[in-house]
Structure 1
Amino acid sequence: MEVINTSGRRKTSVARLYLTAGSGNITVNNRALEDYFPAELLRIVVNQPLTLTENTGKYDIKINVTGGGFKGQAEAIRLAVAKALDQIDGELRPAMKAEGFLTRDPRMVERKKYGQKKARRKFQFSKR
């Protein structure tokens, strides 16, 4: 099996993933998954596509992720993993699509506008 290369994005996070056949090692930015994501919930989010398709421990995954916070990075990685599994076996696509793992979440932070305090919040106004 050759190297599968995919990417995933969420908010401002971008994850680039390299998947090869192996023993289930997952490294994120040259660190073990457990070191990079100390919170159990974020590790579960990253492993969701593998667990759903029963592919845990079959592939070695190397991930480079930049931007955003931990949650956005974990969800970007989840999208990249799901896309890689879809490339390997198209039979897995309907199950992952039903769970929403193949959908890019388009929600982004709205930009701040000039003359305002934030995106929608105005400066305090008093008539007197």
Structure 2
Amino acid sequence: FASCLTLTSLRLPNTLRTIGDGAFYRCTSLQNVTIPESVTSIGDWAFQGCAGIKSIVIPSSVKTIGDGAFARATGLESVSIACSVTSIGGWAFARASSLTSISIPASVQSVGDYAFKGC
């Protein structure tokens, strides 16, 4: 679905385990994303450049957020990360320039370089 400019809403199946690298890269019209409890990892650059997303809830099944996963998601204002997440990749939320609220749980053991650069 990378660069699918007409995609506005995304509800992933509850059988999905991984959101792959670049899966929704530059889907600039994407606004609503529901990540199911079955997902354990969000790949590198999975939602990079998805400027229409305003908020995201990372469910309790997710353990890793990949490099640049939400980089340049310029409309992203709030992120809720479940206490299952142990790793936030480098550049994960870089240049998410509208980000005003994020909760990082104590379970997070590593935050990559420049994870929040330009926020």
Name the TM tier (shorter chain). under 0.3
Higher Cα Rg, which structure: 1
**Which one has a larger percent helix, Structure 1 or Structure 2?**
1
**Greater relative contact order (Cα < 8 A, sep 6+):** 1
The TM-score normalised by the length of structure 2 is: 0.25
